[in-house]
Amino acid sequence: MKLKTAFLQMLYPEGIKCNLCGKELFEETRFSLCPDCIPTFVGKPCLRCGRSISNDAEFCLECQNGEHFFDRAYAPVVFDGTAVKLIYKLKYGNEKYLAKYLARMMFDCFEKQSYIPDLITFVPMHEKRQKNRGYNQAEELAKELGEIMGLDVVNSLQRSVFTDNLARMNAQERRNVIQNAITLNKSAPIKGKQILLVDDVFTTGATSNACTEVLKRGGAKRVEVLTFATAKEIPLLI
Ligand SMILES: [Zn+2]
Ligand SMILES: [Zn+2]
């Protein structure tokens, strides 16, 4: 190989591609995404649940009525556009390695908060589903975050009831089913602890709420929720 070629390859290594569209990248980047594929936060986050609100309010309508068990929730991006594609790849595309890059975005968002957790835990997946998929994406994100933050990742929750077809249920039905499905691993060291609960997407908050309720009943002092993506507040139809 000519010296000049070798030098150019060092500067512009080949084979580094955007994780989403496959476009060649000129250098290794933190998220391994091209500028077009990096998801963003559209709107501004509700200061309680982190969902995107499009008006000037500090809290979304649900939080103004004080509905959540968890203390706070936040996410770096809104569940829209390329964020949906990334989650889809991580969940159904068997592309576990993506967790490493998504966790970096989550960490950037976490760093802006003033929370000091003692440990990290994650939203559990039912055994049957985990067997089919091979891994729990929430656990993979939690493990990557644990590594970045130097914190223990504790497997503290269990999904003991197989909840299928959640998408077809209304909010209340969903809440009831999820609430009964999650239980505490009795040996988990969560008493008196400040916990960071990790999941992939925050939508209605029903899952985060159910997990938090179980953790707090088990003695957790504070629970904040960090997800990769969050929903937009559902606008009121007047
Ligand atoms: Zn791209
Ligand atoms: Zn809110």
The CATH number that applies at residue 182 is 3.40.50
How far, in Å, from the CA of 77 to the mean position of ligand 1? 16
Task: Quote the pLDDT of residue 66.
Answer: 79
Amino acid identity for residue 137 in this structure: Q
For residue 29, give the ligand nearest its CA.
1
How far, in Å, from the CA of 10 to the mean position of ligand 2? 47
Domain for residue 5, yes or no?
Answer: no
Q: What confidence tier does 177 reach under pLDDT thresholds 50, 70, 90?
A: confident
CB-based contact 202:222 (threshold 8 Å) = no
- Whether residues 152 and 59 share a domain: the answer is yes
Token readout for 227 is: 């997800």
Q: How far is CA 175 from the centre of its chain?
A: 19
How far, in Å, from the CA of 81 to the mean position of ligand 1? 12
The answer on pLDDT for 87 being more than 90 is: yes
C-alpha to C-alpha distances, 151 to 70, 117, 119, 163, 226, nearest whole angstrom: 20, 8, 6, 30, 14
When mean pLDDT is compared across 34-38, 67-71, 146-150, 173-177, the lowest value belongs to 173-177
For residue 233, give the ligand nearest its CA.
2
Q: Give the structural domain span for 135.
A: 41-230
Task: Quote the pLDDT of residue 15.
Answer: 72
- Whether residues 80 and 145 share a domain: the answer is yes
CA triplet 45, 144, 153: central angle to 5 degrees? 95
Pairing status of strand 119-122 against strand 194-202? parallel
Domain for residue 235, yes or no?
Answer: no
16-53 per-position pLDDT tens digit: 899 999 999 988 889 999 999 999 999 999 999 999 99
How far, in Å, from the CA of 129 to the mean position of ligand 1? 30
Amino acid identity for residue 227 in this structure: T
Q: Which residues surround ligand 1, an ion (CB under 5 A)?
A: 18, 20-21, 23, 34, 37
Sign of CA dihedral 97, 146, 86, 163: positive
The number of domains in the chain is 2
Domain for residue 3, yes or no?
Answer: no
The answer on pLDDT for 97 being more than 80 is: yes
- Whether residues 94 and 21 share a domain: the answer is no
Task: Quote the pLDDT of residue 145.
Answer: 98
Domain for residue 237, yes or no?
Answer: no
How far, in Å, from the CA of 71 to the mean position of ligand 2? 11
